[in-house]
Structure 1
Amino acid sequence: MTATQLPRRPVHALVLGLLLTLPAAAPAGEEDPVPAPPTLDAPLEPAGREPRPSAAAQALGLPQGDLPPPDSGEGLTLSVEDAVLMALRHNRSLAAEQLQPAITGTFEAVERAVFDPELFAEASASREESVRQFSEVNRPPAVSLSQREQAEAGLRQSLPTGTDIELTLSASRSERRDQISTTEQFTSRAGLTLTQALLQGARIDSNLASLRQARVDTAISRYAFRGFAESLVADVEQAYWDYVLASRNTAIYEESLEVARRQLEETRQRIRVGDRPETEETSALAEVALRRQGLIDARSQRARARIRLLQLINPPAARWDSRIQAEDSPTPDVPPLEPVAAHLQLAMDLRPDLNEARLQLQRGELEVVRTRQGLLPRLDLFITLGRSGYADSFGSAWRAVDDEGYDYSVGLQFSHPLGNRAGEADARRARLSREQALESLYHMEQLTALDVQNAWYEANRTREQIAATRQTRILQEQVLETEQTRFRVGSGTALAVAQAQRDLLESRLDEMEAIIRHRQALTDLYRQSGTLLLRRGIEAPGDTRAETAY
């Protein structure tokens, strides 16, 4: 499959598929293909037994015996696919990040609620008692009592067209009582009020701008989540191969330490039979000490890589001291790289951060549309229609609504701040922010092209280094074999053999590092081009290009 033919999957939850570009795991029980150093013909002590210490070794204070194993706890066998799957299931930061699109989506519901119908109701009661004093003598004061109960209910809604609609139903009872008579009246009314914005607030695109911005924010959060998931998968793969490299380096140092011990024992045997001077032992001892020093560092690096990998995958049943057995074996056979232009084209379409920048520009365009309304004055047309009924009871009052009585009102409302500095400032800020987002998008596209090309050249460099380091390692094996032959026939020195062993060790480490770094470089190239999740068969939101007009 070429870089321009990657499959497009629907947006679903994260699901791990088969990793398409990684090598198959080695069969169970099969050892990793680490080249073994040339063997010596001299008699060797049984494996695992430390050679007999000499006076020179005791004088130098070199430790005797094997180094203790650094890891304890239960074992955990992992392939790189297993590591990625565990991270997608159990990584704490991913679990927290996965909630962000849902949280952002709630703001979309808030903006949508602006246009939802609203039911309202109100009830009130009032009572007033008044006493009127007269100036005439012996005339009692006049007492009057008035009370009123009123209830109103209705439905109102704002539409994207700038129209406000309100439908009301109300009923009231009024009573007036004095010393002479009592008057009671029941009133009912049905009314409809329409208010239409004629200037500010009259455009549909302006009224829907906030809702559309909320939808854009939700889409931005999806792309941000995809970018986080890609970074997590890349980190897990990088950490996995770092652990594999540290484990292989540790194995190489252990083998080289064993070879140095054998060389030391052979040197001691030749010194005992008088074939070599005693000064030759110092070079062999120094080489053993160097191998121990490198082995200590390699084991420490392996422990750090193990802890980092455990932290990323967060296995539920594992502990910090759990051992990890890596199933996947690095192989020197790598496929040719796809053209850099293909990766650039994919990056322009699929990079999550680039799509986020496009959506930020779209959000800025909506802000320009929204703030443009603030430059206009407020001019609203309102119409109120109603019918009322009057009777001596509530039932009769509602039946009287059908009579000829009615009321209506029509008018205009106008308002505009003098100078309108706030509206002009908002509109100007929106235009400048949109220009800033556009420049940021152009800059992001340049950075994307730079990142992809740098990642491609790094992947190509590590690919070429695999063949170069392999050739160097083969030649160093031949050099070591030559020096060992010269040492056996008496024309070489232990120092020359030690130097050849050291050069072979470095070449083996360089070859293994080149193989691992190429795997990591490919992962980084796929992440920079925005195709890592697609290549690994992982479905996540944001797998299409975000379109915007600019």
Structure 2
Amino acid sequence: MKKRAGWALLPLVFLLLFSGPAFGEGEAQGELPLLPGGGIGKTRDMSLPEAVFLVVRGNTSIENAYLDRVAQKYGLEVEEHKFKPDISFDSSLVRSGSDDDYNYAGSDDITDTNDTQLQASVTLTEKIPTGAQFSFVWQVNKTTGDTAGSYYSDDESVRNSWNIQFQQPLLRGGGIDANMASVRQARITEQQNILSLKATLIDTITTTIYDYRSFLESARQVAIVLRSLKRAYELLEENRALIAAGRMAQSDLVQSQSNLANQRIAYQQTLNDVQQSRLELLRTLNMNKNTKVNPTEVLSLPENLPSSQQCLALAYANQPAYLQAKLVLDYSKQDLILAKNNMLWDLNLLVNYSRDNTKSDSYGDSDNNYWDAGLYLSIPVYGQTRMSRQSQLLSARSNLFKAQNSLRQTNENLQIDVDNRLRDLHIKKEQVTLSREALRLSRLQLENEQEKLKYGRSSNFQVVSYQLDLANAENTLLTAEVDYLNSLVSLDQTLGTTLDTWRIAFKTQRKAAQKKVWGQ
């Protein structure tokens, strides 16, 4: 009697366990079981586009990348200021004094001297793309002093001077190509930094999509296990009815009981899996780990796939790694220009003009002008200086050849990656088709076997096996659909078109990051 009372409670337990839409026979993808635990508060429905939006807005890696962009952008502005004037102002105020006591022939002479010197200067320097440099210096010195003792005197002098200098390198350091090389390199570096930011966004979004779909897959696996539990319980009840009618041996019940126990174990495992995948998604989104999330994506599978030629054209225009390799080659070319120029002799044209005007109470006024012009030549005939320049030239040539090799290898790798992604995509698409057919046949097979069991034409073992086959077929189809969609995401990542696919406006700067770094 105790044993029968225990079994009598099972219908109530399973009624509570299996209540809800998850046990409908339909395959509505939006119907997921209510997952126990895993957070506090109200459950938040989250679509995949919403997850992508959240990660772009709040992911730590993306935020750090935008913080880096502030200094990177300013670094370009600094280099582009190379041919704009630099202006500086200097000034000083100095007060000095002395007390001198002279004793000569029995008489004392005490002299007290005080001087004040005020100096101010303005310097303007400007380079031009030919390598020439203009400089202008204007300086004012005002000195006042007084001496008190056996006699008193005071003096004031003002010196006003300015100098203009023009220096043009004629060989080493001269020429537009050599002097614009550093600016071009700064612009190339800026493009590389922008591509790195884009790659960070693409990689983070791709990871988010994988995490989201892993969470979605785990949640739907819970629904599959719950349906398996329901079928296992229903089979157990049917077995009892057959035993009661004398159409099945009591010993055959063990198979159904074992199946039910195994499904309970699988249910607990899927609950653990779904919580792990939920936490992984929340970590990527930089959200509170206690947030309860319900993934609502409908697995819509596109039928039309792009051609290899279309994919390669997109990759050549958008793939960050390929574009980076092209920029490295451009940067190396500028390095070679600098290294070749550095091997030339130093031949400089230097022109100076100065004017000096002084007004002094003691010495009167003076007005002086001075100019000079000359050519200055320096040749490193032998030694470390010449060897160092030669070493830079060799390194520049080596780096250029390596950059060419890297670009060629990157191009080949990109073509292989595109081919692999497309082939994998077509295989995954075919697997979805086959999995759907396998699931249809598995359902039909189980239905037929259940009918046979009612009339004693099948064994309990066979029905349990087909139930497991159906659960496996459901999981296989789910995995195939997720893998197919993830293959599309992987293709997007390879082509560098992830941002376009998800309609994300790519911004090279964020105002919030600028305010933080600039302290506003």
Q: Which category describes the TM-score, using the shorter chain as reference length?
A: 0.7 to 0.9
Asked whether the equivalents of residues 121 and 140 of structure 2 are also in contact (C-alpha less than 8 Å), the reply is no
Structure-to-structure mapping, 1:155-170, within 5 angstroms: 155-160=123-128, 161-170=130-139
Identical counterparts, % of pairs: 20
Q: TM-score, normalised by structure 2?
A: 0.81
- Alignment correspondent of 1:528: 494
Paired residue total: 470
Superposed displacement of residue 126, structure 1: 10
CA distance in 2 between counterparts of 1:221 and 1:275 reads: 76
CA distance, structure 2, for counterparts of residue 541 and residue 446 of structure 1:
30
Equivalent residue for 2:378, pick from 384, 402, 415: 415
**SS of the residue 1:460 aligns to:** helix
Q: What are the within-5 Å matches in structure 2 for residues 365-404 of structure 1? A: 365-392=333-360, 397=365, 401=367
Q: Are the structure 2 counterparts of residues 476 and 189 from structure 1 closer, same or farther at C-alpha, using a change threshold of 3 Å?
A: closer
Task: Report deviation, 1:469.
Answer: 0.8
Query: What does residue 238 of structure 1 align with?
Result: 210
- 1:7 corresponds to which residue? none
Spell out the pairing of 1:197-212 with structure 2 (5 A cutoff): 197-212=169-184
Alpha-carbon spacing, 1:181–1:337, altered in 2? closer, same or farther (3 Å):
same
**Equivalence for 1:328:** 297
Give the secondary-structure state (helix, strand or coil) at the position aligned to 2:36. coil
Residue 490 of structure 1 aligns to a residue whose secondary structure is coil
Q: Can you give the 5+ residue segments of structure 2 that lack an aligned partner in the other structure? A: 1-9, 18-33, 509-520
Tell me the CA shift for residue 172 of structure 1: 5.1
Mapped to 2, the partners of 1:437 and 1:360 lie a distance apart of 6
Distance 1:128 1:380, change over 3 A: farther
Structure 1 residues 261 and 167: alpha-carbon distance in aligned structure 2, compared to 1, 3 A threshold:
same
Quote the offset at 1:346 in angstroms: 0.6
What RMSD over aligned residues (CA atoms) do the two structures have, in Å?
A: 3.5
Name the CA distance, whole Å, in 2 between partners of 1:322 and 1:173: 73
Bigger RCO (CA 8 Å, 6+ sep):
1
**2:165 maps to what in 1?**
193
- 1:119 partnered with 2:88: yes
Please state whether the residue corresponding to 2:164 is helix, strand or coil: strand
- Compared with structure 1, are the counterparts of its residues 485 and 388 closer, same or farther at alpha carbon in structure 2 (3 Å cutoff)? closer
Question: 1:540 & 1:259 partners in 2: Cα distance?
Answer: 50
Aligned CA distance change for structure 1 residues 393 and 114 (closer, same or farther; 3 Å): farther
SS at structure 2 position matched to 1:414: strand
CA distance in 2, matches of 1:92, 1:264: 51
SS of residue in 1 equivalent to 2:398: helix
CA distance in 2, matches of 1:358, 1:412: 41
- 1:48 aligns to what SS in structure 2? helix
How much does 1:106 deviate?
A: 2.2
* Preserved contact between residue 35 and residue 271 of structure 2 (Cα < 8 Å): no
Distance 2:264 2:108 in 1: 121
- 1:506 is aligned to 2:506: no
Query: Does the C-alpha gap of structure 1 residues 383 and 482 become closer, same or farther in structure 2, counting only changes over 3 Å?
Result: same
Per-residue CA deviations over 1:457-494 (Å, capped at 9, x if unaligned) read 22211111111111111111121122112211112110
Check if 1:280 corresponds to 2:252: yes
Asked if structure 2 preserves the Cα contact closer than 8 Å seen for 1:222 and 1:541, the reply is no
Residue-by-residue CA offset, 1:82-125 (whole Å, 9 max, x unaligned): 11111111112211112222221222233344443232445587
Q: Give 1:180 shift.
A: 11
Which residue does 2:268 correspond to in 1? 296
Matches of residues 477-496 of structure 1 in structure 2 within 5 Å? 477-496=443-462
> SS of 1:334's equivalent?
coil
User: Aligned with 1:199: secondary structure?
Assistant: coil
8 Å Cα contact 1:166/1:194 also seen in 2: yes
The counterpart of 1:83, out of the listed 51, 70, 84, is 51
Call closer, same or farther: CA 1:283–1:117 in 2, change over 3 Å: same
Structure 1 residues 380 and 154, CA, compared in 2 at 3 Å: closer, same or farther?
Answer: farther
Distance of aligned partners of 1:375 and 1:435 in 2 relative to their CA distance in 1, 3 Å threshold: same
Q: Judging changes above 3 Å, is the alpha-carbon distance between structure 1 residues 440 and 507 closer, same or farther for their aligned structure 2 residues?
A: same
Letter in 2 for 1:278: Q
| 1:263 and 2:235 correspond | yes
Of residues 414-423 and 362-371 in structure 1, the stretch that sits farther from structure 2 once superposed is 414-423
- CA distance 1:139–1:376, change in 2 (3 Å): farther
Per mean C-alpha deviation after superposition, the further-off stretch among 479-488 and 207-216 is 207-216
- Taking the aligned partners of 2:472 and 2:191, their CA distance within structure 1 comes to 50
**Which secondary structure does the structure 2 equivalent of 1:321 belong to?**
coil
Structure 2 vs 1, CA of residues 202 and 298 (structure 1 numbering), >3 Å: closer, same or farther? same
Which among 272, 283, 294 is matched to residue 311 of structure 1?
283
More helix by share: 2
Question: So what's the TM-score if we normalise by structure 1?
Answer: 0.76
How big is the shift at 1:511?
1.2
Q: Which amino acid aligns with 1:264?
A: L
Structure 2 residue 192 is the aligned partner of structure 1 residue 229: no
Shift of 1:250: 0.9
Aligned partners of 2:244, 2:156: CA distance in 1, in Å? 134
Mapped contact 2:332–2:403 kept (Cα < 8 A): yes
Equivalent position of 1:346 in the other structure: 314
Equivalent residue number for residue 97 of structure 1: 65
Unaligned runs of 5+ in 1: 1-43, 52-66, 543-550
Q: Distance in 2 between matches of 1:414 and 1:179?
A: 58
Residue 149 of structure 1 and its aligned partner are, at CA, apart by 5.3
TM-superposed CA distance for 1:50, in Å, is 8.9
The separation in 1 between residues aligned to 2:397 and 2:272, in whole angstroms, is: 56
Q: Structure 1 residues 377, 271: closer, same or farther in 2, change over 3 A?
A: same
SS at match of 2:14: coil
Q: Which residue of 1 aligns with 2:4?
A: none
